């Protein structure tokens, strides 16, 4: 599948909490919806023979041993070249390819925040649910 990333990654929300009691959670869900790209002149670009989609990752992760939780939503607009479908016929591999940069962003943000808050960075290594 050929695609272009039309926007930078947007961190819609990112929240870090220390847990009062240890808990472990791993919810990372990908949402994929058709979108339109706004041109600089205010017009809408429908993509022609291609389609725009917003890829969004919602997450709530409390890695073992469960001392903190990170949660939020990160998204990005992508253009799927020569594709006019609604996204339901894409393969799991396509979803993984399109969402992986967003998951990596979550991993990087968590690493940086825990380096500051816990004096020891935490490496997340997880897969999104489709």
CA atoms within 13 A on the CB side of 43: 4
The CATH architecture of the domain made up of 3-117 is Roll (3.10)
Neighbours of 127 (CB within 10 A): 11
Secondary structure (3-state) at 109: helix
> What are the mean pLDDT values of the chain's consecutive 10-residue runs (130 residues total)?
87 97 93 82 74 94 95 95 87 90 95 95 74
Contact at 8 Å (CB) between 53 and 33? yes
pLDDT score at 2: 84
pTM of structure: 0.85
Domain ranges within the chain, ordered by starting residue: 3-117
């Amino acid at each position: 599948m050929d695609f272009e990333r039309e926007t930078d990654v947007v961190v819609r929300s990112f929240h870090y909490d220390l847990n009062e009691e240890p808990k472990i959670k791993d919810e990372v869900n990908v949402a994929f919806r058709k979108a339109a790209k706004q041109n600089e002149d205010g017009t809408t670009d429908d993509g022609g023979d291609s389609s725009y989609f917003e890829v969004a990752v919602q997450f709530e992760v409390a890695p073992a041993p469960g001392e903190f939780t990170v949660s939020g939503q990160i998204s990005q607009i992508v253009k799927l070249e020569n594709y006019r479908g609604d996204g339901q016929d894409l393969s799991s591999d396509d979803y993984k390819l399109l969402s992986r940069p967003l998951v990596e962003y979550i991993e990087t943000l968590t690493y940086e925040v825990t380096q500051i808050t816990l004096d020891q960075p935490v490496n997340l290594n997880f897969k999104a649910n489709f």
